Amino acid sequence: MKLDESCISNPKLQNLKLDLASLSSRSTPRFCNFGFEMQDSSNFKFPLVRCSKYVVAAMKGILLLVALLALAPVAKAQNADDYRGGWRTDSGEPHTYEFSIRGATVRGVYCTYCADATTLAFVDGTFGADGITFEVTHVKADGSTAYKDRATAKFDQLNKGRLIVTGTSGAPSGSRFERVLIKDPRGPDPIPAMVSVLPKAPPVPANPSRRNPDGADGLPYIQPGPWKSALTEKDVIGVWFGFGVGAPKQFFIIKKVGSKLRGMVCGTCDNPYTMAALDDFVIEGDTLRFNILHEDWADGEVPTFYKHVTAHVGWNEMRCVTTADHQPAPPPPPAGRVPGFSLQGPVPIEATSGNVWPEWPPKNTSSPR
């Protein structure tokens, strides 16, 4: 049985110029055997199937293409741990971003001089195969939107693990921008508890002498007076201070954003490893609840989790206790001791305007390591 001669004389097949020398060691490589020969008791022989050498060459080309595709590099899936947490510029204009990532949902904060609460804006976006796509909402004092930046963030492992943010500013004089961000090489400040960190590195050892977790210099806490029984947003919006004085003191900033409250905590406010976004605010009667969104640093062995804060407010003080889903409940406090830590405030957002350093990044602002 022979194939039709048109198979051999087809000019398209004749134009295939592939070397067949390696296909077969036969002395007549013009034909290939795709079939088999079998014989039964009736002496019937199944015919061999032969085809043109040009068909064989075409098949070799297809197989070679399949092999090359198999060897082609596969795009590496994005790792959220490469993106999450705080990033800042290392020279020129100050820009700091804090990304909280859960699944495909991204939220967080942006600021320039973060101790100037008027520069605080809010991140919302998505995380996927191309990195982070997000908006930054800048708000007015009443919580309405002033303008939005639109940007993308891409982790660059080959460029010393930097994050490249490109986008367009929505400010009246805004334009396109590209910002190269780094993880702060200082890492987290020491606190009374061990601090874990991302990217993976040895934890920062606990230093009990750095800050008193009670916020009262070790003395027994005495409540200043009755807490406000019916809290409002006005009672909590502003800047609250705690955990010491000088550069390491912490700013808890709470702003109105649309119909919600959002904020951040920083201290020192030039190091993204000493800041976090605040979100999920709820006011119920005399109680304020919100979450601290830990991403790339936290007290304890887990760097990424939500710390749940429950607070009462009065006498220019916010008294807070915290819990976390992965940590056991704290033991009951000794008799006469009120657990938690205290913040003082609120200072109006506008009162922090002008809290800027003469150079970026500033020097000598972090606690000794």
The alpha carbon torsion through 141, 144, 149, 153 (nearest 10 deg) reads 90
The predicted model gives 78-104 an average pLDDT of: 97
The whole-number pLDDT of residue 59 equals: 62
Write the pLDDT tens digit of every residue in 113-165.
999 999 999 999 999 999 999 999 999 999 999 999 999 999 998 888 999 99
The percentage of residues in the chain with a pLDDT greater than 90, rounded to a whole number, is: 64
Q: Shortest CA distance to 275 belongs to which of 336, 174, 366?
A: 366
Whether this prediction's pTM lies above 0.85 is answered by no
Write the pLDDT tens digit of every residue in 159-210.
889 999 999 999 998 899 999 999 999 999 888 889 999 999 999 999 877 6
- On average, the pLDDT of the chain sits at 83
Are the beta carbons of 29 and 20 closer than 8 angstroms?
A: yes
Domains and CATH numbers, the chain: 5-71 (no CATH), 80-181 (2.40.128.30), 205-352 (2.40.128)
The SS3 assignment for 117 reads helix
Amino acid identity, position 102:
R
The SS3 assignment for 351 reads helix
Sheet holding 85-88, edge to edge: 85-88, 96-102, 105-111, 121-128, 131-139, 145-156, 162-168, 176-181
Burial of 71 (0-12, 13-18, 19+ CB in 10 A): exposed
**Residue 52's beta-bridge partner residues?**
none
How far is Cα 199 from Cα 231, in angstroms, rounded to an integer? 40
The whole-number pLDDT of residue 118 equals: 98
